[in-house]
Structure 1
């Protein structure tokens, strides 16, 4: 999107761009609120929003839903190696979004990505950082660590503390989901999840089980594929449990499963949230477009990427910086229409 570049708009953009670049740092810097900018510049809120959106398009600013707008950290590293796990599914919403945002961020900041596979991993340039996306086997990790001095993973490896890990705590997502559902009065809950081979599904399930027991909830687990079809099949079982077992809520491992399940419930004559509430994870674009709008946890890929490059910049500036670092990011609960109190 490019805003109408009349002289006043251009003056505001140029001045804010210069101001933000003067305070740009090697970490995220939060800017003033829209209200504060409106009062300082003396123009309407709509114009301020247009100007901010233009600077977001340029890559100077980053918007985090529910947290505010930040100046993107400046980047010194011009190359990064990128390795994706072969277990990543081509239709996985989280990884697709992460890769798309990583590509956009790199293009805006003139960063060259060197794509690698496990077969050609030795062709990578060892002095450049290696970004790992998806879960990798121990044998592969050992080889990777022997080849690259800086390794950054977007996954949690609990048994390793010798490379950087930036991730959302999926166990705590499940734990919090049980707490949220309990606070809405739900004491009999169904969790639909994916196979154990998917780390996120496994951690979310284990966290949910821990949380459900802590909240004194009765629960049952349904395992299916983590896509629309799997959710639809799970929904046929959920419909029976809701009618016969008096279950009142479902925690879905991801949005596609939740959406498929909701369609199956509609086909069975059940209404969400009147008959059963639904809570999910991912906040894919469709979550806010279906009816009813899906209540879900937002995992902000932009936040992960900004943390990665901010961290890389700090390490390059400080030779004594420790690389055994974990950065655990907090998801944001987006409350919409599929969750109600009973």
Structure 2
């Protein structure tokens, strides 16, 4: 017990030092914290203790961890209001948007920012001086309604034909292209892509990117469409099994993790094991992805990074509002975020993969 108290006291001292340094670094921009290795050397403590202290400061809202990219100092948020509107096309059970909304709520609470939820029918109930955050894809008619009321807009989707508001997004087209390149690098030249309906912008972009990448890398491919959830993947198992067993397809690129998990479960009932007989690559890196057996190889789309960039832009709005220069008050910027490929157990080199029935 005495040892634990000493350890906790040492952690507290290190946390106090790092907390002071972080507060001095804080600004309205994302600033990367030095690496754990450098902190370990400078503070002359072990790596495990550094990680414990960083996790403590993350829980306090002073730091943000981005998987595969490092740890960043949380931006100072001056603007205390943000309007929030979600597209009617977003499904209540959509895992990516649900996770994003949870993270957004937590981030707002830690920074004492009041979120004002809006719908297309209640647009005029918001704080019109503060920016509006659009989540999901809006049709042009509805987008124009929002633009008419709010001069400062931040979108978490890509609108290629609009440069008059801020857009923060992952390039889903490039994710699809990169998936084809990665699978080709693992020796897979016959790949099945399971995707969602074209009404999902992210699924459509990933599919088109994959088709382009497949053509570029000499991959023969089949596109299968279903719902973007566990059941959607599960229901495709019969068709996928047929392609694997009789047409020698060796890999699957899934539009999201839930589809991948549903499909893997169903393939197992048909005697097809991942990755021994077919490899799987997916997108999202949901919490279950690393706990599922086999653990999913997937692209991590960090919702925290989108949110931190959003709050950083909120302060850019404040700075522009204080300027007398009309041009300075224009609020338009594109921030294209890069996903991180998390390599786990479901991806295997082609030469290591026995074909079913061989």
Correspondence for 1:47 among 34, 46, 49: 49
What residue in structure 2 maps to residue 158 of structure 1?
A: 160
**Equivalent residue, structure 2, for 1:290:** 292
Q: Establish whether residue 335 from structure 1 lines up as the match of residue 334 from structure 2.
A: no
Secondary structure of the residue aligned to 1:32 is: coil
Structure 2 CA distance, aligned partners of 1:160 and 1:173? 22
For 1:97-112, list aligned pairs within 5 A: 97-112=99-114
> What is the alpha-carbon distance in structure 2 between the residues aligned to residue 181 and residue 114 of structure 1?
43
In the TM superposition, what are the counterparts of 1:1-342 in structure 2 within 5 Å? Answer: 6-318=8-320, 319=323, 320=328, 322-342=330-350
Separation (CA, whole Å) in 2 of partners of 1:259 and 1:78: 40
Q: Cα distance, 1:7 vs. partner?
A: 3.1
Take 1:151 and 1:14, find their aligned partners in 2: how far apart are those partners?
38
Q: Look up the SS of the partner of 2:117 in the other structure.
A: strand
Separation in structure 2 between the aligned mates of residue 241 and residue 313 of structure 1, nearest angstrom: 52
Cα gap change, 1:288/1:6 in structure 2, threshold over 3 Å: closer, same or farther?
Answer: closer
Partner Cα separation in structure 2 for residue 8 and residue 182 of structure 1: 49
Q: Using the TM superposition, name which of 86-95 and 53-62 deviates more.
A: 86-95
For the residues of structure 2 that align with 1:10 and 1:273, how far apart are their CA atoms? 45
Q: Which moved more, 1:128-137 or 1:42-51?
A: 42-51
Write out the 4+ residue segments of structure 1 that deviate beyond 4 Å after TM superposition: none
What CA distance in whole angstroms lies between the structure 2 residues aligned with 1:217 and 1:44?
47
**Within 2, Cα distance between the matches of 1:145 and 1:193?**
32
Q: How much is the aligned-residue C-alpha RMSD, in angstroms?
A: 1.3
Q: Is the 8 A contact 2:152 2:317 kept in 1?
A: no
| Separation in 2, partners of 1:87, 1:175 | 26
Report deviation, 1:122.
1.6
Q: Deviations over 1:133-152 (max 9, x none)?
A: 01111111001001001000
Do the aligned partners of residues 100 and 80 (structure 1) sit closer, same or farther apart at CA in structure 2, a change above 3 Å counting?
Answer: same
Check whether the contact 2:188–2:251 (CA below 8 A) recurs between aligned residues.
yes
- In 2, the alpha carbon distance for the partners of 1:198 and 1:245 equals 29
What is the total number of aligned residue pairs between the two structures? 340
CA offsets, 1:186-207, max 9 Å, x none? Answer: 1111000011111111111011
Mark the runs of 5 or more structure 2 residues left unpaired by the alignment: 351-358
Once the two structures are superposed, residues 71-128 of structure 1 have per-residue CA deviations (whole angstroms, 9 ceiling, x without a partner) of 1111110000000111111111110111011011000011110001111112112101
Give the distance between the partners of 1:287 and 1:9, measured in 2 at CA: 31
Unmatched 5+ residue regions in structure 1? none
Could you say what secondary structure the match of 1:337 adopts?
A: coil
TM-score by length of 1: 0.97
Bigger drift between 309-318 and 138-147 goes to: 309-318
What is the Cα deviation at residue 41 of structure 1?
1.8
What is the distance in 2 between the residues matched to 1:155 and 1:334? Answer: 23
The Cα of 1:10 is off from its aligned counterpart by 2.1
Give the Cα separation in 1 of the matches to 2:8 and 2:270.
55
